[in-house]
Structure 1
């Protein structure tokens, strides 16, 4: 029972540390942006809470990369502002803004789920109602600045905790190639065949499959006892 208990204690400690990191990220974003943001705009937006989950809890996710966090939120917020100005009907504008945000994030390789919320927030807040300056600033302050501060706190937190962020995949360990060994082209072919998008880098997938293959080969090895 000791290994299970030790693992449970470690998991609890890690959860606590991640939670504290998120607290620091949100407080820093709120405080520093509040010093700069004009009175007509909020000091922080709700999508940053969702971004903090990705940055602190699953930093290895491609969706949590600094580029994705910052660009995904900023581009989506800008789209939300433009759509809210162009389309007075809020319900229609909300759906269109989120859809366009997903398309743009995908095209720019900055897919970040909270970006959809940033686009929706821009439509609901309708910052242009506070004047053209507020509309122009909203994607940058608070959204962009919130995102930048959160990423900076995330980098510092993970460096102190010994985790990798921004995440850099380690190359798979070299192994003796066999006729049945999976290669990168095999993985790419499988991904193309499924037509699905998975929340994992190709390098991380290779790194995971290599020891899995080694374990399979060891399990399937036939040992012949000497006569």
Structure 2
């Protein structure tokens, strides 16, 4: 009996009580606001309904699964509108309700998939156009504009405001990609494990619609691979590998002096610290190349960077480190597993990570070279231990 129930109940991602409550309140506000807007827009001079039932199904998608490709603005606006057009047209041409209903659903799905605006509640809209009775039939093609387009736009606007205010970026946020080097090489995280072509071939084999964006699916799988590596990685932490004798600069250090320190110490990155030794940024060779110009052999702030600083509201540039440093800066703690740093390097295209204590004071710096050397040393140690006969030390 228990096995049968498990088969009947779908496996769902773990969702917190907070998220359940957030989704429910969002749907409540969305449908309520849509109804009020409809009532105000239509007044009492029309028989058109202020709110139609399919908006309840749209609310489920917009507020409970806002990251779904089926819940994006194009899906709801185009899906609902095109399905209403199909439904009204079929209702005018076909008198038999059963046949008209079937044709409306079939053609609506075909149109939505062709236009890449699949939205399940739109199927109910196509049926409403056929089965809605005299009130809906008398509207004719006006049904497309109101209530369908009007309701869709109203609930979409509520979803845009509510989801973003409650920490659910909407429309679907674009996941940050690692920095590209402008070459044909794939990003570091894609050079191990499966490739994008592998995923495309598997999806082609399935030949069906999945309720998740293809890029989101790839990102989830790659992050799963990296988390799996972290679970299987060794015992090393960042503090055991980091460089401790760190050359750092202050925000008001001149660009000329910062570049000089890089050349003297043969390094490519300098943590930027304030008077309390707290990390406030990092300046790298890339910052010098992208944000500084060279005049008479010394780095200065170029026009493009000056304009960016002015538009961002920063203080007037004076050719110091604060004018080109990267801030806020990604950091790790000394006790963080080395695998965490590897994941940050791979996912975010970083080359250096300042290591900070709990009070944000600089403790060291970690580079990709440090991590590589530590991994090789740890592997060699493991191989040597495996070759020692049992009972010998």
| SS in structure 1 at match of 2:67 | coil
Query: Aligned pair 1:204/2:216, yes or no?
Result: yes
2:198 is equivalent to residue 39 of structure 1: no
For residues 49-198 of structure 1, what are the structure 2 equivalents within 5 Å? 49-126=56-133, 131=138, 134-171=139-176, 174-176=187-189, 178=191, 180-198=192-210
Q: Following the alignment from structure 1 to structure 2, what is the Cα–Cα distance between the partners of residues 168 and 66?
A: 13
Q: Looking at CA atoms only, which structure, 1 or 2, has the larger radius of gyration?
A: 2
Gaps of 5+ in 1: 1-7
- The alpha carbon displacement at 1:126 in A equals 4.4
**Partners of 2:51 and 2:136 in 1: CA distance:** 18
The one of the two structures with greater contact order (alpha-carbon pairs below 8 A, sep at least 6) is 1
CA positional deviation for 1:39: 2.4
In structure 2, relative to structure 1, the CA distance for the partners of 1:148 and 1:218 (3 Å cut) is same
Aligned partners of 1:51 and 1:199: how far apart in 2?
15
Deviating beyond 6 angstroms after TM superposition, the runs of 4 or more aligned structure 1 residues are none
Residue 224 (structure 1) aligns with: 383
CA apart distance, 1:166:
0.2
Mapped partners of 1:94, 1:80: distance in 2: 8
The alpha-carbon deviation at position 68 of structure 1 amounts to: 0.3
Q: Which runs of 5+ in 2 are unaligned?
A: 1-13, 179-186, 234-378, 389-393
Quick one: which of 214, 220, 227 aligns to 2:226? Answer: 214
For the residues of structure 2 that align with 1:212 and 1:23, how far apart are their CA atoms? Answer: 35
8 Å CA contact 1:172, 1:207 repeated in 2: no
Cα distance in 2 for partners of 1:58, 1:144 equals 21
Distance (Å, rounded) in 2 between the aligned partners of 1:105 and 1:127: 27
TM-score norm. by structure 1 comes to: 0.86
Q: Contact 2:48/2:136 (CA < 8 Å) preserved in 1? A: no
